[in-house]
Homo-oligomer: A and B are copies of this chain.
Amino acid sequence: MSKPKATYHHGDLRQALIHAGVAVLAEEGMHALSLRKLARQVGVSHNAPYQHFADKDALLAAIATEGFVMLTAALDAALTAARATPLEQLQATRVYVQFALAHPHHMQVMFHHLEHQAYPELQAAAMQAFDQLVTIIARGQHQGLFISAPPAQLAGMVWVFLHGLAALLIADKVPERMLSQATPEELTRIYLHWLFTGIQCMPNHDRS
């Protein structure tokens, strides 16, 4: 709260700015993120940040990277905590949605950059999160649980679903009747089940 000066001269101004950025993001949202404000909070002049970031976009990319690291950690924790069966792990991927609801503005920054991947570290961090999905899908395939297809393509389907649900929830676009009495948590479970079984009408296969 009131530790104005710290170790910024020791070479970690970069980390301090990222950290301050994450805090501002959580408290006030993306619109409140400015280089000058972060510099002020951290106690340096308004253009000291340029020593560590080419421009504002580079700082946003660093914050986004940090977000993917956090997401990867959350996924990792949930997947190792889940019982070992791939089906339970598939259900455990709902931490993705939980993470998004817990850090909506961070998610906004993480997926803000459109059609230019000028930040290899960001791309790499995102891929590390994706890798977790690929791993559990591949394991499930070996056990004959999932259909035969490129594991990354199959994992992509799961990611697409998780991200879509997270994005719509965050953007406040999920109407009452779509929830149909369910909580977002419950809806996530239902949808993950449908993702597994499909939405077509079948004779009846009802062991989860």
Which chain B residues border A168 with CB–CB below 8 Å? 159-160, 163
Residue of B whose beta carbon sits closest to that of A56: B31
- CB contact between A198 and one of B108, B114, B175, B198 (< 8 Å): that residue: B198
What's the nearest-Cβ distance from chain B to residue A182, in Å? 7
C-alpha spacing A104/B114, complex, angstroms: 8
C-alpha spacing A113/B158, complex, angstroms: 25
Q: Are A199 and B147 in contact (CB under 8 A)?
A: yes
- Tell me, yes or no, whether A16 is within 8 Å of chain B by CB: no
Q: Are B153 and A180 in contact (CB under 8 A)?
A: yes
Q: Which of A4-12, A45-53, A187-195 contacts B (4 or more CB under 8 A)?
A: A187-195
- Tell me, yes or no, whether A150 is within 8 Å of chain B by CB: yes
Q: Are A190 and B111 in contact (CB under 8 A)?
A: no
C-alpha spacing A158/B105, complex, angstroms: 25
Residue of B whose beta carbon sits closest to that of A144: B201
Most buried by B among A29, A111, A155: A111
Which chain B residues border A163 with CB–CB below 8 Å? 164, 167-168
Residue of B whose beta carbon sits closest to that of A163: B164
Q: Are B180 and A114 in contact (CB under 8 A)?
A: no
What's the nearest-Cβ distance from chain B to residue A157, in Å? 5
Q: Are B177 and A150 in contact (CB under 8 A)?
A: yes
Which chain B residues border A161 with CB–CB below 8 Å? 160-161, 164
- A-B contacts, 23 listed (Cβ < 8 Å): A104-B114, A115-B172, A117-B172, A130-B175, A146-B200, A147-B201, A149-B180, A150-B177, A152-B180, A153-B178, A153-B187, A156-B174, A156-B179, A157-B194, A160-B161, A160-B168, A160-B191, A163-B167, A164-B164, A195-B198, A196-B198, A197-B200, A202-B205
